[in-house]
């Protein structure tokens, strides 16, 4: 079993196995389930993700609060015009990350990866690159196992909770997970996956959790969007041979320590950051009839 990224990479490289294979074998050892049972479960997760993405990019789903909905469709329409500034792959991933989170906010079914509030990044990136990489279902399932392997390390060595470590622990972790998984999907090495995770997570350090009205909608949905774009760029950088000067495990540890020193007002309490802006308070009062900070 591996406890950190260094051990994960060492096992993969010393046995000439992929990270996804190492994660599957660990799951078999820990749970006692067969390979087929474990892969079948992950395939179900993949199908749930696919359904959420498809719903979000074809329906203008709206949350009960009215704070979010319809942006994924707008992005898809924008892509079709062909006048985008970044790239079709990046924008498609961004729109599908948004789609997932809009479905979540509308009380739809999603997979927490690693949490509901950060559920858009991993599937957004995966389904955003399918047109370019044309992965099989087996490869897509493997992508999810790689994401799971890195999420496992973060959860056991730091945190994936916004209440405990800020949004860096949620969307930040998801961004790193997606970057690492994309590297394997694109044919990269285990070491490159670790570099992609480190590069992505470094750029999310210090990200606070400040949900407007205490709901996982604003700014959560758009943070998933930006997380998806960062994940793709980080994967490209790692595949190009660029490395992180700070090892992946040390980046994860730094995230944990930053989260520990982060003020309570910036850890999912809706007491600070964007939640405490005049507009944030106005939206809160509109939804609840009174601002939460006056209750």
What domains are defined for the chain?
39-294 (1.10.4100)
pLDDT at 290: 75
Residue % of the chain over a pLDDT of 70? 98
Answer yes or no: are the C-beta atoms of 30 and 1 closer than 8 Å.
yes
pLDDT 10s digits, 224-236:
999 999 999 999 9
Enter the tokens of residue 107. Answer: 């009380």
pLDDT tier, 291 (very low <50, low <70, confident <90, very high otherwise) = low
What is the overall mean pLDDT for the chain?
97
pLDDT greater than 70 at residue 292: no
Helix, coil or strand: residue 267: strand
- Model pTM score: 0.97
b/e burial code for range 188-209 (CB count within 10 A of at least 16 → b): bbbbbbbbbbbbbbbbbeebbb
pLDDT 10s digits, 51-110:
999 999 999 999 999 999 999 999 999 999 999 999 999 999 999 999 999 999 999 999
CB proximity list for 46: less than 8 A, separation 6 or greater = 137, 140, 141, 144
Enter the tokens of residue 202. Answer: 């470094």
pLDDT at 207: 98
Residue % of the chain over a pLDDT of 90? 98
Separation of alpha carbons 214 and 274, rounded Å: 11
pLDDT tier, 215 (very low <50, low <70, confident <90, very high otherwise) = very high
């Amino acid at each position: 079993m591996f406890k950190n990224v260094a051990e994960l990479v060492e096992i993969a490289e010393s046995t000439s196995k992929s990270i996804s294979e190492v994660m599957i074998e660990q799951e078999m050892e820990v749970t006692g389930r067969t390979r087929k049972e474990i892969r079948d479960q992950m395939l179900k997760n993949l199908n749930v993700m696919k359904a959420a993405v498809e719903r979000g990019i074809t329906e203008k789903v709206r949350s009960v609060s009215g704070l979010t909905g319809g942006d994924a469709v707008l992005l898809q329409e924008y892509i079709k015009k062909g006048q985008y500034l970044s790239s079709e792959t990046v924008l498609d991933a961004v729109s599908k990350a948004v789609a997932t989170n809009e479905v979540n906010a509308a009380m739809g079914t999603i997979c927490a990866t690693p949490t509901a509030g950060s559920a858009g990044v991993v599937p957004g990136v995966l389904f955003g690159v399918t047109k370019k990489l044309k992965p099989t279902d087996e490869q897509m399932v493997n992508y999810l196992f790689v994401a799971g392997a890195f999420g496992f390390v973060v959860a056991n060595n730091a945190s994936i909770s916004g209440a405990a470590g800020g949004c860096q622990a949620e969307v930040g972790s998801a961004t790193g997970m997606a970057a690492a998984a994309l590297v394997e999907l694109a044919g990269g090495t285990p070491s490159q996956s670790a570099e992609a995770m480190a590069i992505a997570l470094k750029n999310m350090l210090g990200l606070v959790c400040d949900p407007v009205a205490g709901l996982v909608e604003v700014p959560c949905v758009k943070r998933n969007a930006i997380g998806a774009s960062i994940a793709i760029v980080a994967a490209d950088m790692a595949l190009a041979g660029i490395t992180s000067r700070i090892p992946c495990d040390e980046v994860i540890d730094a995230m944990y320590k930053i989260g520990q020193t982060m003020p309570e007002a910036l850890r999912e309490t809706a007491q600070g950051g964007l939640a405490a802006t005049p507009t944030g308070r106005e939206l809160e009062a509109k939804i609840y009839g009174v601002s939460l900070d006056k209750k």
